[in-house]
Structures are given as C-alpha cells and as structure tokens.
Amino acid sequence: MSRFWIVNIAFVVLLIALYLLDVQYGLSVVWYIVLIVALVALHTAGSIILSLQFFIPTRCKGESANAIAITFDDGPIAGMTDKILAILKEHNVKASFFCIGHRVAREPMLAKRLHEEGHLLGNHTYWHKATFDLQSGNTIAKELADTDNAIVKAVGVKPKFFRPPYGVTNPMVASGIKRGGKYTVIGWSVRSFDTVIKDRAKLFQRVTRSLKGGDIVLFHDYSESTLDILSDFLNHVSKLGLKVVRVDELLNEKAYV
C-alpha cells in the first residue's frame, strides 16, 4: 500500500476519533482545521518531494560507497547534448539520459549516438508539459508508451526507467506508471538546480558540497552552466575517489525491458 493511502486511512481514523471526542466532550472546530491542514500539507509535500515515495516507489540513491551516477534530463538537444557527450568521452564516463520523446523523434541520430557511446536512455515523457501530471492515468500511460516507441525506433531498446518531470507525482501519475508497464521510477539525491543557477562557481559548490557514494546527480542537457562545470566536476569526483557509473549499475536494476 502506498504512503498516500496510509495517510488517507490515518486521516479518516483520526477524523472519526475527533468526532467521537467532540460528541462526548465538545471540541473546538480548530482541531478539525488542524487535521485538514496537516492532510493538505502531507499531500503537497508528497507531490513535490519525489524521495518521500508518497504515491509510488522511487529509487533516489544507490548503496555504493564509491560510485555515483550522473543524469541529464530533457534532451537530446543538438548543439548541447553532443557537447556533453564529448566531455563524457574525454573523461571516459558513462551517464544516464532521461529523454523527452518528441526530442528523440526529432534527433534520432543523437539518441542513437547516446546509446552507441554506452550511455543509458530513460523515459522522461513525450511532451514534458507543465500539465503532464494533470492528465488522466490512461493519457499518461499513452504518453509514456509514445516515448518508449520513439526510443525503440531510434535506438532499438525499450526503457524501463522513468523520471517524472519536475519530480512531481500524484495519483494520476502513479496510475499512468502502473498502467504503462513495469517502470522503475528514478529520482535523484543531488539536485543541481542548473536550470536556474547561472553562476558557475555557485553551481559547482552546490553539486559538490555534500557529494558521496550512492548519489544520483540531476543535471539538464540544455544548461549552459552545467556544460561549463562538467569537466571540473568530473575531475573533482575522481579526486574524491568516486567512480561515475550508469544508474542501472548504481542501483543494480535493469535499464531496458
């Protein structure tokens, strides 16, 4: 049973208990308000903090003491992803790319190159719209299938890993993931915020300040600042004695169906 349902059942039990106490002793309405506010706060936190695993089991870090995984979301993007690939090749590092379906369909050769150079491809929805999580479970399942199909067409492998846009989940996303097949939901333990942090030094500090074995680091293909620090970041990781591996190796999970 998901934490979402455990919280909802606990809410109903507490509500009944509160009502019985109210009938017996007469309670202030404030107690009901506190209970409802707590429920709304838990649902909100559960929706936006993927690592709480509120709606669906999620892998956010590995057990390894000496390896990390780096992930790039929202590609492939010509002019950006290829520059990332060149840096990764220079450092002999394999990464994991959570791809947007329509971008794979537009850049099939770049997606193919990702695969051929030993990187992992995961599903990151077809359109990556801000309203993705407001769709029905069926529509979400179809969007995930469309992304799988675009990746199969370009690369010949069907992803098992799915990362929700913005890390937002809710009952519809959970339903879409379950209907769509046996996806492993992948989160992160180090969020770079490279889409908003433009300062190179600040970004480097953010992603290195507490980096340790088992971490999954989130970057984006389209971030110029990530491109700027990537080489220094990989040198730093190496100096810490950490190895960069793909998410499937870090989590000991199958990447493809």
In the complex, the residues that contact Zn ion under the rule CB under 5 A are 73-74, 165
Q: What is the dihedral of CA 90, 91, 97, 102, to 10 degrees?
A: -10
Q: Looking at beta carbons only, is 165 or 187 nearer to Zn ion?
A: 165
Give which of 111, 112, 109 is closest to 124, Cα–Cα.
111
Closest approach of Cβ 176 to Zn ion, in Å?
Answer: 16
Closest approach of Cβ 124 to Zn ion, in Å?
Answer: 6
Closest approach of Cβ 99 to Zn ion, in Å?
Answer: 10
Q: Looking at beta carbons only, is 194 or 215 nearer to Zn ion?
A: 194
The single residue of 128, 215, 220, 248 carrying the catalytic annotation is 220
**Cα maximum dimension of the chain:** 73
Q: Looking at beta carbons only, is 167 or 180 nearer to Zn ion?
A: 167
Closest approach of Cβ 165 to Zn ion, in Å?
Answer: 5
Closest approach of Cβ 155 to Zn ion, in Å?
Answer: 19
Q: In terms of residues, how long is the chain?
A: 257
Q: Is 215 a catalytic residue?
A: no
Closest approach of Cβ 103 to Zn ion, in Å?
Answer: 11
Residue nearest to Zn ion (CB): 73
Q: Is 220 a catalytic residue?
A: yes
Q: Looking at beta carbons only, is 67 or 219 nearer to Zn ion?
A: 219
* Cross-strand bridge partners of residue 97: 72, 121
Q: Looking at beta carbons only, is 53 or 223 nearer to Zn ion?
A: 223
The single residue of 43, 73, 119, 148 carrying the catalytic annotation is 73
Give the C-alpha separation, 36 to 41, whole Å: 9
Give the C-alpha separation, 33 to 202, whole Å: 41
Q: Looking at beta carbons only, is 64 or 189 nearer to Zn ion?
A: 189
Copy the structure tokens of residue 245: 């591996």
Catalytic site residues? 73, 220
